[in-house]
């Protein structure tokens, strides 16, 4: 088809109507359009102007009459010159008889007298069948008058339909049709030098890329990346949080959290059964100082006044907060450097709590934590840095409320005004680490450590409009949803 069409254009430079062109060659017009024309048009080999035609389709009933004769003709044939009872015609021909009688009376072919039909003419021509046959061969109705067509339509023997054909002319790239266009530069072309004269298929920059089938980032990971950039932009270093199992010592004891604190209960914390205990801290003097500050107090503090047990501190747990890592980093800062160096640290990683699961709680979630260790920092520094940090998450209206943490004093909960909800929502926790935690590490006395923490899930759920945390995390997550989540940017104002 394609070759014949191109030849025709080479000879006559246009094809006035593809409908006629296809019919002359016995082709199906839709096949010509779908499998040949569309691609030629797309490649600009040809140009096409649409033409609308009214065509007539002979209905199923019409086709039957075209082949078997019309009801009026069949009825006339069934009537004898002596008269035939109408009853007899109708029982012989059924519905066709009924329709035929109506038409015959209307056309004056028959007359009805005493329930009998008498012919009024000697011979009839089945013009209805002839017209239907003509329309079948020539759907444009060229041989019929408009009135004929209307009549057939009113008898529902014919339906009209608009058909689109095309007037075809040579396109912008018609001359390139005969040339082989190369899609790629090949090794052979370079070797033979044929690339010099080859014509290349143009790039289609409008084409959409293949849809990706894998490699989608989870929303939590996308938001984590943005928050990581905020911290890095503020000059913070990332802490190595790549361990989920921690000893109670670094998770609780070193933070001046007493051993009978409810958070250390199996109700709130996951304990490991194997290995149940970690190795004791090698810095025995540090352990001694931690023991002392719990048991009897030190550095001007009264302590908790209970017998501190090292065995209890060696119990392995799934870390309940990333502050365990912060503590270890501060200890390293105090012991590994000769002179104190100010530091800004952050981490974003997973923590575990033995919670009852519901729409907003999981047994594991991610904590974002930032801390600054420097000389003579104040709570004013803490509030300032928190303001700066949250402004980059799109939260610029903040309030602070005093709270209690075993390891910070003072401690403040952070609230942000949520524009969407029209109310204040809790977004984080913060505080100044206690001397009972820092001084046993042997950090200089004038060094203060300010810190704040929040969950990664909270801002992610707000950004991605997720109401139930289980849609975001865990075994009920819909993988397709993960693929389809857009890239949401944290607002910066
Ligand atoms: N560790 C705290 C929590 O688990 C967060 C926090 C970090 C509080 C740093 C104060 C300072 O919620």
C-beta of residue 129 within 8 angstroms of C-beta of residue 69: yes
**Cis peptide leading into 410, omega within 30 of 0?**
yes
DSSP string for 169-219: EE-TTGGGTTSPEESS--HHHHHHTGGGT-EEPPP-TTSPPPPP-S-PPPH
Ligand 1 binding pocket mutation candidate from 429, 449, 455 (most atoms within 8 A of CB): 429
Strand, coil or helix: 406: coil
Strand, coil or helix: 313: helix
C-beta of residue 305 within 8 angstroms of C-beta of residue 292: no
Ligand 1 binding pocket mutation candidate from 252, 263, 321 (most atoms within 8 A of CB): 321
Whole-number Å distance between alpha carbons of 137 and 316: 90
Beta bridge partners of 375: 447
By DSSP bridging, strand 343-352 and strand 237-238 are: parallel
Q: 492: buried, middle or exposed (CB in 10 Å: 19+, 13-18, 0-12)?
A: exposed
Whole-number Å distance between alpha carbons of 94 and 401: 94
Residue 408 Cα to ligand 1 middle (Å): 9
Nearest ligand 1 atom to the CA of 320 is 4
Residue pLDDT tens, the chain, 493 long: 998 999 999 999 899 999 999 999 999 999 999 999 998 999 899 999 999 988 899 999 999 999 999 999 999 999 999 999 999 998 999 999 999 999 999 999 999 999 999 999 999 999 999 999 999 988 888 788 889 999 999 999 999 999 899 999 999 988 888 777 788 899 999 999 988 888 788 888 998 888 878 888 899 999 999 999 999 999 999 999 999 999 999 999 999 999 998 888 888 999 999 999 999 999 999 999 999 999 999 999 999 999 999 999 999 999 999 999 999 999 999 999 889 999 999 999 999 999 888 877 889 999 999 999 999 999 999 999 999 999 988 888 999 999 999 999 999 999 988 777 788 989 899 999 999 999 999 999 999 999 999 999 988 887 787 888 888 888 888 888 888 888 777 765 4
pLDDT score, position 493:
42
pLDDT score, position 491:
64
> What's the gap between Cα 235 and its chain centre?
35
C-beta of residue 327 within 8 angstroms of C-beta of residue 239: no
Nearest residue by C-alpha to atom 5 in ligand 1? 453
Residue 30 Cα to ligand 1 middle (Å): 70
Residue 281 Cα to ligand 1 middle (Å): 23
C-beta of residue 29 within 8 angstroms of C-beta of residue 55: no
Nearest ligand 1 atom to the CA of 369 is 7
Residue 324 Cα to ligand 1 middle (Å): 10
Strand, coil or helix: 389: helix
Helix axes 60-68, 127-137, angle to 10 degrees: 120
Q: Which two tokens stand for residue 202?
A: 């143009």
- pTM, entire model: 0.60
Decide if domain 1-59+133-209 falls under CATH 3.40.47.10: no
Q: 244: buried, middle or exposed (CB in 10 Å: 19+, 13-18, 0-12)?
A: middle
The yes-or-no answer to whether 71-125 and 223-484 have a common fold is no
Residue 245 Cα to ligand 1 middle (Å): 18
Residues with CB under 6 A from ligand 1: 321, 323, 369, 405, 408, 429-431, 451-453
Site of tokens 């006629």: 20
Beta strands in 380-493 (DSSP E): 398-405, 408-418, 423-433, 447-455
Whole-number Å distance between alpha carbons of 411 and 408: 6
Angle at 34 between CA 31 and CA 35, to 5 degrees: 75
pLDDT score, position 209:
87
Whole-number Å distance between alpha carbons of 262 and 396: 35
Whole-number Å distance between alpha carbons of 267 and 250: 19
Strand, coil or helix: 58: strand
Decide if domain 71-125 falls under CATH 3.40.50.10790: no
- Residue 276 to residues 253, 314, 429: CA-CA distances in angstroms? 17, 8, 31
Residue ranges per structural domain of the chain: 1-59+133-209, 71-125, 223-484
Decide if domain 223-484 falls under CATH 3.30.930.10: yes
Whole-number Å distance between alpha carbons of 480 and 493: 32
**Cis peptide leading into 275, omega within 30 of 0?**
yes
Angle at 316 between CA 310 and CA 322, to 5 degrees: 105
Whole-number Å distance between alpha carbons of 145 and 26: 26
Residue 453 Cα to ligand 1 middle (Å): 5
**Cis peptide leading into 142, omega within 30 of 0?**
no
DSSP string for 277-295: BPPPPS-HHHHHHHHHHHH
3-state helix, strand, coil in the chain (%, to 5): 40, 25, 35
């Amino acid at each position: 088809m394609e070759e014949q069409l191109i030849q025709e254009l080479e000879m006559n430079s246009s094809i006035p109507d593809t409908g006629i062109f296809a019919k002359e060659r016995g082709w199906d017009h839709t096949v010509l359009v779908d499998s040949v024309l569309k691609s030629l048009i797309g490649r600009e080999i040809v140009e096409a102007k649409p033409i609308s035609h009214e065509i007539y389709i002979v209905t199923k009933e019409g086709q039957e009459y075209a082949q078997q004769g019309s009801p009026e003709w069949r009825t006339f044939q069934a009537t004898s010159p002596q008269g035939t009872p109408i009853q007899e015609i109708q029982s012989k021909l059924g519905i066709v008889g009924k329709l035929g009688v109506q038409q015959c009376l209307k056309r004056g072919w028959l007359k009805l007298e005493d329930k009998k039909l008498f012919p009024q003419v000697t011979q009839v021509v089945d013009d209805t069948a002839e017209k239907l046959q003509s329309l079948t061969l020539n759907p444009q109705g060229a041989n019929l008058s408009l009135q004929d067509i209307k009549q057939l339509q009113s008898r529902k023997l014919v339906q009209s339909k608009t058909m689109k054909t095309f007037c075809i002319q040579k396109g912008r790239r018609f001359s390139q049709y005969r040339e082989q266009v190369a899609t790629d530069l090949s090794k052979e072309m370079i070797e033979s030098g044929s690339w010099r004269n080859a014509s290349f298929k143009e790039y289609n920059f409008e084409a959409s890329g293949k849809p990706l089938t894998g490699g989608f980032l989870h929303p939590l990971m996308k938001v984590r990346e943005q928050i990581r950039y905020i911290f890095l932009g503020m000059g913070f270093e990332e802490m190595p949080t790549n361990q989920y199992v921690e000893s109670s010592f670094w998770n609780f004891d070193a933070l001046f959290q007493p051993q009978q604190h409810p958070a250390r209960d199996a109700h709130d914390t996951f304990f490991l059964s194997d290995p149940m205990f970690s190795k004791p801290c090698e810095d025995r003097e540090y352990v001694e100082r931690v023991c002392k500050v719990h048991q009897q107090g030190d550095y001007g503090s009264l302590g908790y006044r209970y017998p501190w047990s090292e065995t209890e501190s060696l119990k392995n747990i799934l870390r309940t907060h990333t502050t365990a890592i912060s503590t270890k980093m501060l200890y390293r800062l105090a012991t590994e450097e000769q002179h104190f160096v100010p530091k800004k640290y952050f981490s974003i990683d997973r923590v575990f709590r033995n919670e009852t699961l519901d729409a907003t709680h999981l047994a594991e979630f991610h904590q974002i934590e930032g801390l600054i260790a420097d000389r003579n920092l104040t709570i004013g520094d803490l509030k300032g840095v928190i303001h700066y940090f949250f402004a980059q998450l799109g939260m610029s209206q903040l309030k602070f409320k005093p709270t209690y943490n075993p390891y910070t004093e003072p401690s403040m909960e952070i609230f942000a005004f949520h524009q969407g909800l029209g109310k204040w929502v809790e977004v984080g926790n913060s505080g100044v680490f206690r001397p009972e935690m820092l001084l046993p590490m042997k950090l200089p006395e004038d060094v203060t450590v300010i810190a704040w923490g929040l969950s990664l899930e909270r801002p992610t759920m707000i950004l991605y409009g997720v109401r139930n945390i289980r849609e975001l995390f865990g075994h009920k997550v819909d993988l397709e949803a993960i693929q389809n989540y857009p890239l949401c940017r944290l607002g910066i104002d």
